[in-house]
Every structure is written in C-alpha cells, then in structure tokens.
Chains A and B, each alone.
Chain A
Amino acid sequence: MNPDEQPRTAAAQRIARRSRDLARLATVLVPLVPVGVAWVWIRFEQFAPVLTATAGVVADPARVTPLVRFGGFGLNMVPGAIAMYGFWRLRRLFGLFAAGQYFSAEAIRCVRGFGLAALAYGVAAPVARLLITLLVTFSNPPGERLLLIRISSDDLAILFLGGAFYVIAWVWTRAKEISDENAQIV
C-alpha cells in the first residue's frame, strides 16, 4: 500500500466506527419515541403542571379521561411517527457510511428522506400541539378552554435543519457524479 493510501484507510476506519455508533443510537431512538409519548400520556398527572408552566394550559388531570389520553397519544404520534421515520433514515444512512458507501444513490435518498422528515415534523408539531391543547381543555369550564397556537424557536430550527438537509442532498448528488467519474480513473 502506498503512503498516500494509509491516511485514507485510517479516516475510513474512523468514519466506520463513529457511523456504527450513530446507527446503533438511531436504532434505539426509533422505539423510544412511541414509548416516551405513551409514558407522557399514561402519567399525565406528572406532566400537567409542566404544560401549565410552559404553555399556560390548565388541564385538570381528573377531566383527562382515558379516551382523551388515547386521543392525545394519537395526536402526539403524528409528529412522533415522522420523527421515527427520520431516525430510521438516519440509521440506514450511518449503516451505509459504516460500509464505506458515502456517495451511493441510497445514501442520497436517506439524506433527502431525513430532510423531508424534519420539514414535515416542523409543520406537524405545532399543529399537533394546537389540537392537543384543545383536546385536554375541552372538558374545562367555559372560559378555560384553549386553542393554543405556538411556534417555538425549536420548530423553526427543525424547519431550517430539514431545508438544509434537503439542499445537502442536492449537493450530495453532484458529489456522487464526481465520485462515479473518479471511479473511472484507474
């Protein structure tokens, strides 16, 4: 092996190691999303004060019936499912990196898929929040029912991240063309 190849091999090994770690982390995150969301709705009494403190939403846990909790879980799982899909795409992407496939068509699809998921999440999360506050306060006395429209900096950051990844997928496509051309140079 010539000396020029040694640094590339060491870099490739480093990328493979870190990519395997991140793929494992993404694999763990996928099932954690529905488990975490379910936990919040099962233990709503614990989280109701947080909802009041952060969003000013007064939700009486006694009025939040199992049906309401199930509905809340369902609404929460709309952005939740999008997040699961995003983590799944990341898992696949890091698996490809670990295998040395940096610029494959599949890797580009994963980057684009994650970008779309982040964009979709950025739109779905505020909508879900709006519907959830309506749901949990619907049984409140008149004057205490809320329709909360809140767009946080986190939502904007996720939207930016999604757009950035989508543009990166375009750049990655160009990188693949260059990589394919380089592969034809012996």
Chain B
Amino acid sequence: MPIIVNLDVMLARRKMRSKELAERVGITEANLSLLKNGRVKGVRFGTLEAICAALQCQPGDILEYRPEPADGADEATIGKTTAGGDDG
C-alpha cells in the first residue's frame, strides 16, 4: 500500500495512548488499530481533522506516500530517485 500511516510515531511523540486517541477522535480502538496498520480503505476528512487536532500535527505528519517498487526496481533505487529527483 503506497500510503503509509505513521500514527505510532506521532502517538509516541505526544506520549498518548491509542485508547485515549480513539476516544478523542470518536472511533473504536479496533478501527484505530486498523488505521495504524494501514488495513483500511480510506480515512474521512472528519476523522483526519480530529486526529490532527488531538495530536497537534499536520496530515503530512501522519500520512506518507511511498510508491511501490516497479518490476525490476528495488526500494533503494526508488529512495535515491525520490530524494534527488527534484532539482528544478
């Protein structure tokens, strides 16, 4: 899945437990766990807004785009391409 959810990282930075975040956001712990593990089909803007408000962060702090490697390419090559790609 190209969209990576870095919720664990933000929870650790804010020293907040998943249960507390789930309560603040208004979703179940089970759904929060699915979200953390990237096993959901999507996130509503309302949920994203509530997460950002609770964790005092931006959407980019918890969502990351990491393209899947094409056939024959490896992740190291993609990382190099992404890091040095935009010189203009």
CB distance from A178 to the nearest CB of B (A): 11
CB distance from B21 to the nearest CB of A (A): 12
Q: Mark B19-41, 1 if CB is under 8 A from A, else 0.
A: 00000001100011011000011
Q: Is the C-beta of B72 less than 8 angstroms from some C-beta in chain A? A: no
By a CB distance below 8 angstroms, the chain B residues around A2 are 26, 46
Looking at B27, B40, B41, which has the most chain A CB atoms within 10 Å of its CB? Answer: B41
By a CB distance below 8 angstroms, the chain A residues around B44 are 185-186
Among residues of A, the one whose C-beta sits closest to the C-beta of B42 is: A185
Among residues of A, the one whose C-beta sits closest to the C-beta of B46 is: A2
Contact: A186 with B47, CB < 8 Å?
yes
Among residues of A, the one whose C-beta sits closest to the C-beta of B34 is: A186
Q: Mark A156-186, 1 if CB is under 8 A from B, else 0.
A: 0000000000000000000000000100111
CB distance from A9 to the nearest CB of B (A): 14
By a CB distance below 8 angstroms, the chain A residues around B35 are 186
Number of A residues near B (Cβ < 8 Å) is 5
Q: Is the C-beta of B73 less than 8 angstroms from some C-beta in chain A? A: no
Q: Is the C-beta of B76 less than 8 angstroms from some C-beta in chain A? A: no
By a CB distance below 8 angstroms, the chain A residues around B42 are 184-186
Contact: B40 with A184, CB < 8 Å?
yes
Q: How far apart sit A185 and B45, CA to CA, in the bound complex (Å)?
A: 11
Contact: B27 with A186, CB < 8 Å?
yes
Contact: A186 with B46, CB < 8 Å?
no
Among residues of A, the one whose C-beta sits closest to the C-beta of B39 is: A184
Q: How far apart sit A184 and B44, CA to CA, in the bound complex (Å)?
A: 11
By a CB distance below 8 angstroms, the chain A residues around B26 are 2
Q: How far apart sit A111 and B43, CA to CA, in the bound complex (Å)?
A: 32
Q: How far apart sit A184 and B26, CA to CA, in the bound complex (Å)?
A: 15
Contact: A181 with B46, CB < 8 Å?
no
Q: Mark A112-155, 1 if CB is under 8 A from B, else 0.
A: 00000000000000000000000000000000000000000000
Q: A184-B40, A186-B40, A186-B43 are in contact. List 12 more A-B contacts (CB 8 A).
A: A2-B26, A2-B46, A184-B34, A184-B42, A185-B41, A185-B43, A186-B32, A186-B34, A186-B35, A186-B42, A186-B44, A186-B47
Which 6 residue pairs spanning A and B have beta carbons closest together? Answer: A184-B41, A185-B42, A186-B31, A186-B40, A186-B35, A184-B40
* 20 A/B residue pairs, CB under 8 Å, sorted by A: A2-B26, A2-B46, A181-B41, A184-B34, A184-B40, A184-B41, A184-B42, A185-B41, A185-B42, A185-B43, A185-B44, A186-B27, A186-B31, A186-B32, A186-B34, A186-B40, A186-B42, A186-B43, A186-B44, A186-B47
